[in-house]
């Protein structure tokens, strides 16, 4: 009998993995054949995918309902990361295929990145860097540099990363609040931050709003023109979650008008930035959907995915199931 097949699907331009699957192999070599498939975005999936017992899916390739319908041997689809919006989880559930993610691998990195963006905005690091390199010392941005203990840091989504970011902000002296209708009562008492009851209240009260919710049908575009208008003049927006949670046009318009003093975006709607005009938006810091990156985080993520795939191949229970 042929051995079970585990397929790793990765976009060609990503280099977070390697052809030899060096991290995954120690967990899987004894129980399955392992194959890494490199794909162009939107390229058709090769036959190996439809023969796989387990699929490890990097960000990019989509597994929609027609693809799920052809997965006759598949025991698990593992999203190599936190977000799982590239998989039709309902279709997979109907087909009896668990969809799992790796929700905790980048908790520290993404929370650190959100705070780094926040501090860069509050302390005006990039304008000051540019001014210093012009050999000048006027400190033209001094009026934007604020004392953190006078500011309110608002967290949208108090999951693992949101909690880590809230605790970091609290440690830096921010008054820290959050909105998340799905966390249990009393969570705010456990971590010592304040809970607000509506998104509107979060937007109105925060000097900085930091986005940490997953991308779902409910959260897609949840921050738009109405929500941006509710924010205090001169406030900041930070997003290290998913780009499509925040509508970029009203954010860029608010930056140009001065209603927002700045934005720190690791992710943008329809990423990456599309035009020179978008890139020239004032008071905008953009990073390359890289908040999760660290060698340690990559090894942790890939190891967890491989362990879940091993369990599925062996007929054992899987974990981190999202459907």
Report the alpha-carbon distance of residue 241 to residue 186 in Å, rounded: 24
Which of 61, 73, 109 lies closest to 295 in space, CA to CA?
109
Residue 242 annotated in active site: yes
Handedness of CA 268, 322, 12, 30 (dihedral sign): positive
Mention every residue, 6+ apart, whose C-beta is less than 8 A from residue 71.
Answer: 49, 50, 52, 55, 77, 95, 97
Residue 271 annotated in active site: yes
Catalytic residue among 131, 271, 278, 300: 271
How many degrees, rounded to 5, is the angle at CA 247 between CA 241 and CA 248? 95
Catalytic residue among 75, 79, 188, 242: 242
Contact 284, 255 (CB under 8 A): yes
Catalytic residue among 59, 220, 289, 321: 289
Contact 146, 232 (CB under 8 A): no
Active site residues: 242, 271, 289
């Amino acid at each position: 009998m042929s051995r079970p097949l585990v397929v790793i699907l990765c976009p060609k331009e990503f280099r977070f993995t390697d052809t030899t699957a060096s991290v995954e192999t120690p967990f899987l070599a004894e129980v399955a054949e392992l194959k890494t498939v490199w794909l162009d975005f939107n390229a058709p999936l090769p036959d190996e995918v439809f023969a796989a017992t387990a699929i490890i899916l990097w960000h990019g390739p989509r597994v929609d309902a027609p693809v799920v319908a052809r997965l006759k041997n598949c025991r698990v689809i593992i999203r190599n990361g936190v977000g799982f919006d590239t998989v039709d989880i309902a279709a997979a559930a109907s087909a009896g295929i668990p969809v799992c993610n790796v929700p905790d691998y980048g908790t520290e990195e993404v929370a650190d990145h959100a705070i780094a963006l926040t501090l860069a905005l509050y302390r005006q690091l990039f304008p000051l860097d540019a001014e210093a390199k012009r050999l000048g010392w006027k400190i033209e941005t001094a009026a934007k540099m604020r004392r953190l203990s006078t500011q309110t840091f608002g967290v949208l989504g108090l999951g693992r990363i949101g909690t880590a970011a809230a605790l970091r902000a609290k440690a830096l002296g921010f008054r820290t609040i959050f909105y998340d209708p799905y966390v249990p009562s009393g969570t705010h008492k456990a971590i010592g931050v304040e809970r607000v009851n509506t998104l509107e209240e979060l937007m109105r009260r925060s000097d900085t709003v930091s986005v940490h919710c997953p991308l779902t049908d409910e959260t897609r575009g949840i921050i738009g023109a109405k929500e941006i208008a509710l924010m205090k003049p001169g406030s900041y927006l930070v997003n290290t979650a998913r780009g499509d949670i925040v509508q970029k046009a009203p954010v860029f318009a608010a930056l140009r008008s001065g209603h927002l003093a700045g934005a720190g975006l690791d992710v943008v709607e329809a990423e990456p930035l599309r035009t020179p005009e978008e890139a020239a938006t004032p008071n905008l810091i953009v990073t390359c959907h890289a908040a999760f990156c660290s060698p340690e985080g990559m090894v942790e993520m890939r190891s967890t995915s491989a362990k879940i795939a091993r369990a599925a191949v062996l007929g054992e229970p899987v974990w981190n199931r999202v459907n």
